[in-house]
Structure 1
Amino acid sequence: MEISSSNPLFISNAPGNTMQAFLDNELSKCDKFIISVAFISRSGLAPLKQTLLELEKRNVPGKILTTDYLTFTEPSALRALSKYSNIELKILRCDKNIRGFHTKGYLFFKNRVVSVTIGSSNLTGNALAINKEWNTCYSVEEDEALCKNVINDFNELWNSPNAFSASDTVLNEYAQIYIEQKRIRRELQRQKIALEKEAAINESKTVSLEQILLEPNSMQLEFIQKLNEIRAMGEHKALLISATGTGKTYAAAFAMREINPKRALFLVHREQILRNAIESFKNVFGDTKTFGLYSGSSQETDRDFVFATMQTMATHFNDFAKDEFQLIVVDEAHRVGAESYQKMMAYFNPDLWIGMTASPDRSDKFDVYAAFDHNIAHEIRLQEAMRLNLLCPFHYYGITDIFVDGEEKEKRDFAKLVCDERVNYIIEKAEYFGHSGNRVKGLAFCSSLEESKELSQKFNKRGYKTIALSGADSQEAREQAVKQLENDNRDNGLDYIFTVDIFNEGIDIPQVNQILMLRPTESPIIFVQQLGRGLRKAEDKEFVMILDFIGNYSNNYMIPIALSGDRTYNKDNIRRYVRQGVKALEGASTIHFDEIARKRIYESIDSANFSEMKLIKECYKNLKYKLGRIPSLMDYEEYGEIDVMRIFENASLGSYHKFLKKVEKDEYKVDFSTIEEKYLEYVSTKFANGKRLHELLILDELLGENNGNVMSRVMSKMQNDFGISVNEKTRKNVENILTGQFASGAAKDTYADVTFIENDGNDFCISSKFNELLDNNEFRRQMTEVVKFGLFRNKKYFGHRYKDTSFCLYEKYTYEDVCRLLDWEKNEVSQNIGGYKHDKNTNTIPIFVNYEKGDNVKESIRYEDGFIDEKTLEWISKVNRKKTSKDVISIQNSDRIGIKIDLFVRKNKDDKTSKEFYYLGRLHTSSEPIEFKKFNKDLGKDQSYVKFIYTLETPVRQDIYDYLVG
C-alpha cells in the first residue's frame, strides 16, 4: 500500500498490522528519524535490536525524546539507547511547568519525504504489538504544513530547559528514583495480596487463595470439553498435544477435578517434574485430595493421587492391583514406545489413560497416536499458543556465526568452535541483545559435551558464572544448577547452563530469559523443544531472547520450518516466512535474521529437495500415525502436513497411487493398468495444483457422467458462476490440452494416449478411452479425488485473478503453466522461449527473469536485468539484437499494437528443485530502447543487446521485492 496524506495507513495492532512491524520496516528504510514517546521499555526495544544495530553501522541519525512522567520508562532501556553512536537521547523532566507528557509520535525521513505516525503507541512491548492501539501514518513532503507543525513542536520540547541529554549522571539520578518508586509499588501490591489471602482464609479453611483465583485457560477448557466427548463415546484413552509451557499439568489437574477419580497415577520420567506437578495439583485440589511421591527416595503409595517416576514404576508396577487406579496420566507421552512403558500399559486397566506431550512426531517413528487409540483430546502447537498469549513472548535473532580464519565449512573442528575469537563474539552478541529482568538467566545448547565444558570454562574466565551439565550428572546436580540459575541473587547463582540436550524437554525453568543456540538445527522437533525452555511465563519476565548462531549448514531450512510450524515444505512459504520476519508471528513475539544469516537460509532452501522420497515418507507416516489410517489428499491440507504437490512432483512418483504402492505394500492392494496410471499422473501433475479452473471443471463434469456438450456447458458455467469469460483462443487452448495436442518435447510422447474429450461433430464429449477407464470404480474414485483436490486448491490459492489474466499476483508458475494460461495453442520448451517469446496468435509476450545469474550461465546470456525500484525494471534483450530487430520493435510498440507483456521472475536458476517463477503483473515500456555492445570473453568479440526500462502496472509487494533483490 502506498501511503500519502490522502491515503493514510491505520495501525491498530490487528494480526499482520502491528506498530512493531511498522516501526521495524520504517526504521530499516529511513535516512534519519525522530521519536517522541512518553514511555520506553526493554520489551519495546527488544524486537528492534537488529535494526538499530544496522542503523548504527550505516550512521543513520536519530533523535529520541522521552520523559520521567510517572517513573514508568525503564532506566535499562535508556542506557541501551544511550550507547548508540548515531542516536541523540533526551529525557524531559515533568514539573509544575510540564505536568504531563503523553506524545506518541514517530517520524521517518527519506528523500525529503516524511512518514509521520501519530497515535497511542509508546515504545513498549505491549503498546507495539498487544494492546488495542490507534495510530495513523501519513506520508508528506518535508515542507508541508502537517510535517512542519509536528517538527516545530518536537523542537520546542527538545530545546526546552526541562529536556536533559542522557548523560551518565542524568541516567543514574533517574535510576535511583525509578528503583524507589518500584519498591513502593511492590510493597503496595504485597499488602493487597496479603489482604486478599486473609479474606480467602476467613471464607474457607480448606480453600487456598490459589484455588479461588485459579481458572482454566482456553487450551485447558477445550481439552476438558473434548475429553468429556471422548469419554462419552466409551473410549478409554486420550492424547493431549500441547506446546511446552502452555499448562499441560494444570490441564490434567482440572480434568481430573471434573472426573474426580478415587485413585489416580501421574507418571513422569524425572523426580523434579513430579514435585512441580504435585504443587500444581495442590493448587487445584487444595486439601480435598492427598498426594504421594513414589520414587527412589519416597514410597508414598497410600495417597489418593500417586506421582511416580517411570524408573521406579517400571520395576514395581506389579506391587499394585491392575485396577488400582481409575485414571492414569502419562507425561511426556512420546516416550511410551519404550519397552518399560509398553509393559506397564499392558498391565494396568484404568477407566481412562491420558497422554500428554508437546512433540508426538518422534524421530524413533513409534506410533504415539496409536498408543492412545488416535483420540486427540486437543492439539495446540507453538504458534497457536503464542497467538493465545499462553506463553512468554520471544524475540528470535538469527545471527551469523563467526567465520574463524575465513572458514565456511559445514563442520568446523573443535578448536575453532571454542576458540577465543568465537567465545568473545558470542559474549558480545549475548550482551548486546540482552534479556528481560535484572540479570541474565541463560541456557546454551551446544554441539557436543566437550564443547559445552570448554565454553563454560571460557565464559567463567571472562567473569561469568556458568556450569556445563550432561546426562552423566546426577539428578541432584541438575536440580541444584536449576535453583542457582533461577536465584535472583547472582552471588549465589548461575548466569548460564551449557548443555547438549538434557534440557530439551521435561524440565521446568520458568526464569530462563535468554537462550543461546550454538549448534546446527538438526530437527524442527528438537529446535522447538529447546526454544520452549524459555517460553514459560514468570514474574518480572516480559520476554525471552533467543540467539541462534547460524553457520553455513545445508539444513538451515529447518529453522524457518520450526519457527513457522509450516510442515508443507513449500519453498515459497519458507522463503516468505524468512523475509517477513517480524510480521510472521501474531502477538508480541518477533523473528529477525541478519543479512548473512538470511542469505545462508535462502541458499539452504534453494539447494534442498523437498520432493525427495525420504522426506515424503516421513511426513506421510506422521499423518498416518495421527489418523490411524491411510490419509486422503485433503487430509494433508487439513492437518498441515507436507504439500501434496511434493508427492506429485517427485520424478519417480507423479501420483498418490504410485506413492502408496511404494510405501504401503501390505495395506494398499490397488493395481492400475499402465494407461490408468498415465491418466492419473497427467491430472495429478498438470491440473491438481489448481492454477487454472477450466480443465478441472471439465473433468469434474466428465466424472459426474454428465459429459455431452461438455465444452459449451463448462464455458457457460465459467461465465455464470465465476465471472470468467472464455474467448475462442482460450477454448482452443483447453481443447488442445484435453485432446493431447498441446504437449511438446518428451511429454508429447509420454502422454500421447491420454485424451479426455473428443469432438462429436457438434461439441466435445468424453473420449471413448477415458470413458472406458471410468468403468473401474477405484480409478474413478481416485480420479475424482484428485480433481476435487485441484478445485479446492484453485479456490484457496488461485481464486484472485490479476486483472484480465489467468494468473494470480505473486503466485508461481512454470514455463508450461505460462504457455497454458496465456492460451497458446502449443507448449514451448524453455530453450525455445529463451527469456521471452512473442506468441503472435494471442499477441502476448511473457518475460522470464532469473534475478541471480548462476556461475554456470554463459557469458552471452548473462543479462544484467534488475529492479530499479518496486515499480521499475531495467531489462536486456536477447543477444545479437538491435533497435531494428523484429522482437525489439514489437516490444517497443506493444501498447500501440495491443501486445500484452507479463513479467515472471525467480530468484535463482540454480535452484534445481524449483522450476517456477513469481508472477509480478503487466509491464509497459517507459522509454526509448538503448542499443549497446558488450564484450564476450568466451567468444573474444563484442555482441549487441538492447536495454529497455519497463514500468510495472502494480508495484512489487515489499516482501517479494526484498526477497528478490536482497
Structure 2
Amino acid sequence: MSFIENLEASLHQGFIDQEKTSYGNYKPKLLINNKEKNENVLATLLEELNHCQSFLFSVAFITESGLATLKSHLLDLKRKGIKGRILTSTFLNFNQPKVFRELLKVTNIEVRLANIAGFHSKGYIFEQSSHYSLIIGSSNLTAQALKANYEWNVKLTSHGNGEIISHFNQQFEDVWENAQPLTEEWITTYERDYTPPTTFSNPEKVAELPVPYQVNPVQEAVKIEPNKMQKAALQKILAVREAGEERGLVVSATGTGKTYLSAFDVRRFAPKRMLFVVHREQILQKAKSDFMRILGGIESDFGILSGSSKQSSARYVFATIQTISKEENLKQFDPAAFDYILIDEVHKAGAKSYLRVIDHFKPNFLMGMTATPERTDEFNIYELFNYNVAYEIRLQEALEEDMLCPFHYFGVTDLEIDGEVTDEAVILTKLVTEERINHILEKIHYYGFSGDRVRGLMFCSRKEEVGRLSRALNERGLRTVGLTGGDSQEERIRQVERLENGELDYILTVDIFNEGIDIPSINQVVMLRQTESSIIFVQQLGRGLRKHNSKDFVTIIDFIGNYRNNYLIPVALSGDRSQNKDNVRRHVKDTSYIKGISTVNFEAVAKERVFSSINSSNLTQFKLLREAFIELKNRLGRRPMLVDFVTNHSIDPKVLVQKPYFNYYQFLLKVKEIEPSLSDYENSVLTMFSQEILNGKRLHEIILLELLLKSKTVSMENYMYQLSMANCELTQEVLNSVKRIFNLDFFTQNARVKYGQQSIIKLKNNEFFLNEDLRMSLATNTFFREMVIDIGKSARQLNSKYNRDKSLTLYEKYTRKDVCRLLDWDKDETSTVYGYRVKHNTCPIFITYHKRKEVESNINYEDKFLSPEILKWFTKNNRTLASEEVKAIIRAQELGITIHIFVQKYDKEESFYYLGKAIPDQRSVEQTSIFDKKGKELPIVTMNLNLEQSIEYQLYDYLVTNEDQKSTT
C-alpha cells in the first residue's frame, strides 16, 4: 500500500467513517494531556521532531522549561544536520529575556520575532521523508502546555502537494519575511526595556512553600495547615498510634516536607517534651525554625544540643546524634524525659550511636523518617519500628502530587579521549584534561539552569578530581570550591552559605552532600561520576528537588560514559526494582513514568550506552536477588511469598524462577531460608507451574488451577462460565490448548521429564480433576499447597497487563514457545519454527532486527522497517514464488491465514516484541537472491508487510537504532 493510499484511507477513517480500516499513523488525532493514561502532547511532538527532515514552530509563548524538554533532541538533530525555524513574539511580555538567550544556544534553529500585533499562534510543522505532519491547537512551547494543562491540539498529515500544508507554509513564510531576527543585540535591548507581565503570573513559577504554608511572620497566632498529602499521612500516623503502636516509620522522598509533616504530627500529639535527632549540625537550625513556625510559642521552648550549643533543658530539643549519643550526655536525661522522639535520616539507625540513644529513651511514640529505608548492611530498619510503615511516598508519587520542584534530566554523552570513552578505569589526568573541561563547560552552558544565576552541585568520581577540577574551572572564570569528607562541618556550612548568597557558582564534592544537606535554591546538579547505586543516584538528584522561589525547575546533567552500571540510571529514575531487563529497557525508551512537567532525556549516544550496559549486565546474579529478598523480608517481618514481590514492586517473580532455580522453592533453598521439604514430584510440579503459569500470559490456565485448588472436581460448564465472567476468549481451540498444557502433551520430551511426566489435570465426563499424586500432596503438605496457591495469586497479578479476549497483547514480549501456546498450536515447535511457520491458519514471523556481524550471509536477511507501518521482509533462502509456504503467505488474506509479527532488537534478547498483525502488499512481492559463504546464489522472496497498527514511537525508535553504527562523538 503506497503512502497516498494509506493517507486516503486514514483521512476516510478520520473524517468520514471511523469504522473504515486504515494502515499507518496518518489519521487525524486529538492530542491532549491525560495523566491517567500517561498521554501528553510532548510525546507526539518529540516523535515528529526526532524523525523529521526540518521543522517550523510558530508559538507565541516559550518558557525555559518548555525549551528544556526539547534541548537534547534538538542537539541530536544538529548532529544529523537537521535544522529548524521558530517564530515567536513579545506578546504580553510573556517571554522573558533569558529564554531568548537560551534559544540562541540552539544553533541549528533560527529564531525570529513576529512583527504582528497580537501574535498568538500555536503550530508545529514537520517535514518528514514522505509527508508533512502538523500539530495545531492550544499548546504553546511551555512545559505546562505540553505535559500538564488541559489542551486541545490536532495532529494532521499531509502530502507535500496538499493545499492545507501549502497554506500553513505560506502563512509562516509571510510572517517570517517581515519578522525580526533574534540576535544578541536585540536581546540586550529587550532586556533593558522589559517589564514582567502584570495581567498574570508565570504559570510555571513555584514557591519555596506551598500556599497553605505561607503566612506573615509577624502574625504569631496564624495556624498553618498541612497540604492534601500531609493530611493523608497524618491520618495514617494517627491510625498507627490508635492501634496501640509506639513506633512508626515514615518513608518520604527528599524534598517532600518530612520536617513539616513531623511538626504537624507533634502539634497534634502535643507532647510535654520532644526530641528531634539529626546527623548533621547544619540542618538543626532549619529544623528548629520549621518547628517554631508550625508549633508557635516562645523561642526559649526550642533548644539545640550540639557540639557548639547545650540547650538540653528546652521543651523541644534538636540534637545531633554525635552529641546526644555520648554516654556523658545521655546520662543527663531520664529515659522518660521525652514523650515524643523523632529521628531524621533513620536509615542510619543501625549504627551503635543511634541504637544507644533508642535503647536509652522510653518515649510514648518514636517516629523515624527517611527517604531511603533500603540498606546494604542488612540491618533491618523496619524491624526497629515494629514493621509499622505509617506513611510512604516515593519520587514518582511526589512528582505527581506537585510536592517537588520539577526537573529536567539530561543523560549526556561523556567525552571520548584518545579513542577511549570515560569508564571505571580512566585515570585522573584524563578526567581533567583541557578537552574534557571544555566538554563539561559546553554541556552545562547548553542545558543551563532556571533562575537568574547558577547555584550548582557537581558530584565527582574521586577526591583528587574535586580539587583539580575546581581549580581548572576557576581558571575558566567560574567560582567554585571543592569539598570532601576531610572538610569540617563549619567549612561546609560556610561554603553552602556562599553558594546561596551568590558568592559561588558550584560546589564540587565526592563523598558528601548525598543527603543531610538542605540547599533549596540549587538549580543545577551535575553528575560527573558513574552511578554506583540507584539509592545514591536518587539522593544526589534529590539535592535539587526542593521548591524555591528563585527557580521554576532544576536541571540534572548526567555525564554517561562506558560504565557497567549505566543500567542503574533508568532503574533509579523509574523506581523499578524488578531486575527484569525488558522492564529496564522500556524505561529508557519510554519515560512516561515521570509525572508532572518533569522530563527525562537522553542524548542519542548516551542512550545507546545505557542500552549496551543493560545488555551486558547480569541483573539476576545471586547477590542482587539475595539482597532484594532480604530487603523485602525485612520490610514484611516474614519470609516473602512470590506475590509479595509483585505487590511491593520488588523483583519480578519470573526472575526468581529463572535458571538455575526453576521455582521459588529452589531459590529459598539456595538462600538457606528453608530446609528441603518437597518430594521430587512436588518439585517438578512447582517447576511446571513456575515456568508455564506464573508469567500470567494467559488467564485460562490460572482460572482452572484456582478452581481445582478449591474443589476436587470442576465441571466444564462451570469452567466455561468462569472464563466468560473474566471476559476470556472462548473457543474450542483455546480449550484444547489449555488441556494440552496441563496434560503435558504440548511440551517436548525433555520438558515433560522436567515437569514430572504425568498429566497434572485430567478431564473425564466433562469434569476436570487433579491427578491423585498431586491431590494427595496438596492435602498433606501445607507448605507445598501454599507455594502452589502463591503461584496462582502472582500469575493473577502479572496477568493484568495482558489482553483476556485476545491471544496476544500488542508490544508485550513473547518467546517462541509462548507464541506456539497462545496461537493454540498442538506442540511447542520452538526448535523448528525459526524465522516463521505457517500452521493452523496462523503464521508467526520472528525477526532479529540487528544481527551479529558473524552471522552467515545466507541467513543474514535484510529485514527492515520502511516506516512504523511497513516492514520489508525476506523469506528463508532457497524459496521461490512457486514455494508452497511463500504462496500461502502472499495469499494470506484470501486463505484466512493471520500473520503475526514479532521482533527483537538483538539475538541476545530471549523474547520478541509483538507488533501485531500484518498483511502482505502483493504488489511489492519480488523474487531475488542471496549468496552463501561459498558464493553460491540462492533464491529468496521479499515483500512489504503492512502492519495493522503503526508501531508506537518509543518502541520503533528503540528497535531500529543500532548503537554499533552510531557515531560516538
Same-fold status (TM-score > 0.5): yes
Match of 2:119 among 69, 87, 101: 101
Q: Deviations over 1:49-107 (max 9, x none)?
A: 1122233334434332222233221112112223444433222467xxx3x33332333
Q: Deviations over 1:491-526 (max 9, x none)?
A: xx1111111120000100111111111111110000
* 1:587-626 matches, cutoff 5 A: 587-626=596-635
Q: State the AA in 2 paired with 1:608.
A: S
Instruction: Determine if contact 1:36/1:104 at 8 Å carries over to the other structure.
Output: yes
Q: State the AA in 1 paired with 2:183.
A: S
**SS of residue paired to 1:328:** strand
**SS of residue paired to 1:770:** helix
Match of 2:577 among 567, 570, 573: 567
Structure 1 residue aligned with 2:33: 13
Structure 1 residue aligned with 2:884: 886
Instruction: Determine if contact 1:745/1:829 at 8 Å carries over to the other structure.
Output: no
Change (3 A) 1:503 1:946: same
Structure 1 residue aligned with 2:822: 821
Give the superposition deviation at 1:227: 1.0
**SS of residue paired to 1:879:** coil
Structure 2 residue aligned with 1:507: 517
Match of 2:102 among 72, 80, 83: 80
Structure 1 residue aligned with 2:501: 487
The alignment status of 1:120 with 2:138, answered yes or no, reads yes
Structure 2 residue aligned with 1:737: 741
Q: Deviations over 1:698-731 (max 9, x none)?
A: 2222222241545x6434543565252222x444
- In 2, Cα distance between the equivalents of 1:688 and 1:592? 34
Structure 2 residue aligned with 1:431: 445
The alignment status of 1:217 with 2:234, answered yes or no, reads no
Change (3 A) 1:731 1:326: closer
Instruction: Determine if contact 2:93/2:195 at 8 Å carries over to the other structure.
Output: no
Give the superposition deviation at 1:143: 5.3
Structure with bigger RCO (C-alpha 8 Å, 6+ apart): 2
Structure 2 residue aligned with 1:298: 309
Match of 1:949 among 923, 927, 944: 944
Give the superposition deviation at 1:763: 5.7
Change (3 A) 1:293 1:761: closer
Structure 1 residue aligned with 2:868: 870
* 1:718-733 matches, cutoff 5 A: 718-719=723-724, 721-722=726-727, 724-727=729-732, 729-733=733-737
- In 1, Cα distance between the equivalents of 2:107 and 2:188? 20
Give the superposition deviation at 1:268: 0.5
Structure 1 residue aligned with 2:62: 40
Change (3 A) 1:828 1:17: closer
Instruction: Determine if contact 1:854/1:910 at 8 Å carries over to the other structure.
Output: no
Structure 2: gaps (5+ residues)? 1-5, 16-26, 962-969
The alignment status of 1:769 with 2:787, answered yes or no, reads no
Structure 2 residue aligned with 1:641: 650
**SS of residue paired to 1:429:** helix
Match of 1:933 among 929, 932, 939: 929
Instruction: Determine if contact 2:105/2:446 at 8 Å carries over to the other structure.
Output: no
The alignment status of 1:686 with 2:706, answered yes or no, reads no
Instruction: Determine if contact 1:219/1:380 at 8 Å carries over to the other structure.
Output: no
Give the superposition deviation at 1:369: 0.9
Instruction: Determine if contact 1:801/1:807 at 8 Å carries over to the other structure.
Output: no
Q: Deviations over 1:914-960 (max 9, x none)?
A: x21111222322136433333333x3533333223222222222222
Change (3 A) 1:363 1:765: closer
Q: State the AA in 2 paired with 1:742.
A: F
Structure 1 residue aligned with 2:346: 333
**SS of residue paired to 1:852:** coil
Instruction: Determine if contact 1:326/1:352 at 8 Å carries over to the other structure.
Output: yes
Q: Could you tell me the TM-score, scaled by structure 2's length?
A: 0.91
* 1:274-313 matches, cutoff 5 A: 274-287=284-297, 290-313=301-324
Q: Deviations over 1:96-124 (max 9, x none)?
A: xx3x3333233333357443333333223
- In 2, Cα distance between the equivalents of 1:720 and 1:625? 38
**SS of residue paired to 1:556:** helix
Structure 1 residue aligned with 2:908: 910
Give the superposition deviation at 1:798: 1.4
Q: Deviations over 1:797-832 (max 9, x none)?
A: 213554xxx1111111112111111222221243x2
Instruction: Determine if contact 1:801/1:808 at 8 Å carries over to the other structure.
Output: no
Which segment is superposed worse, 51-60 or 587-596? 51-60
Instruction: Determine if contact 1:584/1:591 at 8 Å carries over to the other structure.
Output: no
Structure 2 residue aligned with 1:788: 793
Instruction: Determine if contact 1:719/1:726 at 8 Å carries over to the other structure.
Output: no
Instruction: Determine if contact 1:679/1:754 at 8 Å carries over to the other structure.
Output: no
* 1:180-191 matches, cutoff 5 A: none
For the aligned residue pairs, the C-alpha RMSD in angstroms reads 2.8
Q: State the AA in 1 paired with 2:671.
A: V
- In 1, Cα distance between the equivalents of 2:164 and 2:885? 50
Which segment is superposed worse, 451-460 or 15-24? 15-24
Give the superposition deviation at 1:669: 5.4
**SS of residue paired to 2:565:** coil
**SS of residue paired to 1:746:** helix
Structure 1: gaps (5+ residues)? none
- In 2, Cα distance between the equivalents of 1:403 and 1:921? 40
Structure 2 residue aligned with 1:31: 53
Match of 1:357 among 357, 370, 381: 370
Give the superposition deviation at 1:152: 4.5
**SS of residue paired to 1:319:** coil
Q: State the AA in 2 paired with 1:136.
A: V
Match of 1:323 among 332, 336, 346: 336
The alignment status of 1:64 with 2:78, answered yes or no, reads no
Structure 1 residue aligned with 2:426: 412
Q: State the AA in 2 paired with 1:642.
A: I
**SS of residue paired to 2:420:** coil
Give the superposition deviation at 1:909: 0.8
Instruction: Determine if contact 2:137/2:152 at 8 Å carries over to the other structure.
Output: yes
Instruction: Determine if contact 1:801/1:809 at 8 Å carries over to the other structure.
Output: no
Q: Could you tell me the TM-score, scaled by structure 1's length?
A: 0.91
Change (3 A) 1:688 1:312: same
Q: Deviations over 1:526-553 (max 9, x none)?
A: 0000000111111120111111111112
- In 2, Cα distance between the equivalents of 1:355 and 1:365? 18
The alignment status of 1:393 with 2:400, answered yes or no, reads no
Give the superposition deviation at 1:834: 2.3
Identity score, percent? 41
Q: State the AA in 2 paired with 1:312.
A: T
Structure 1 residue aligned with 2:20: none
Which segment is superposed worse, 239-248 or 288-297? 288-297
Q: Deviations over 1:384-429 (max 9, x none)?
A: 1111111111111111111111114552122212222111111111
Q: State the AA in 2 paired with 1:934.
A: I
Change (3 A) 1:572 1:197: closer
- In 2, Cα distance between the equivalents of 1:856 and 1:754? 43
Match of 1:652 among 654, 660, 664: 660
Instruction: Determine if contact 1:81/1:89 at 8 Å carries over to the other structure.
Output: yes
* 1:197-208 matches, cutoff 5 A: 206-207=220-221
**SS of residue paired to 1:279:** helix
Match of 1:174 among 187, 190, 195: 190
Which segment is superposed worse, 853-862 or 412-421? 853-862
Change (3 A) 1:76 1:689: same
- In 1, Cα distance between the equivalents of 2:136 and 2:889? 46
- In 1, Cα distance between the equivalents of 2:722 and 2:213? 70
Aligned length: 926
- In 1, Cα distance between the equivalents of 2:913 and 2:217? 66
Change (3 A) 1:941 1:375: same
Which segment is superposed worse, 748-757 or 428-437? 748-757
Q: Deviations over 1:302-325 (max 9, x none)?
A: 211011111100101121110001
Give the superposition deviation at 1:858: 3.2
Give the superposition deviation at 1:169: 2.7
- In 1, Cα distance between the equivalents of 2:485 and 2:295? 34
- In 2, Cα distance between the equivalents of 1:865 and 1:242? 49
The alignment status of 1:450 with 2:464, answered yes or no, reads yes
Change (3 A) 1:769 1:451: same
- In 2, Cα distance between the equivalents of 1:758 and 1:677? 20
Give the superposition deviation at 1:274: 0.3
- In 1, Cα distance between the equivalents of 2:253 and 2:687? 39
Instruction: Determine if contact 1:744/1:829 at 8 Å carries over to the other structure.
Output: no
- In 2, Cα distance between the equivalents of 1:115 and 1:890? 37
**SS of residue paired to 2:405:** coil
The alignment status of 1:519 with 2:539, answered yes or no, reads no
- In 2, Cα distance between the equivalents of 1:744 and 1:532? 52
Structure 1 residue aligned with 2:150: 132
The alignment status of 1:714 with 2:719, answered yes or no, reads yes
Instruction: Determine if contact 1:71/1:177 at 8 Å carries over to the other structure.
Output: no
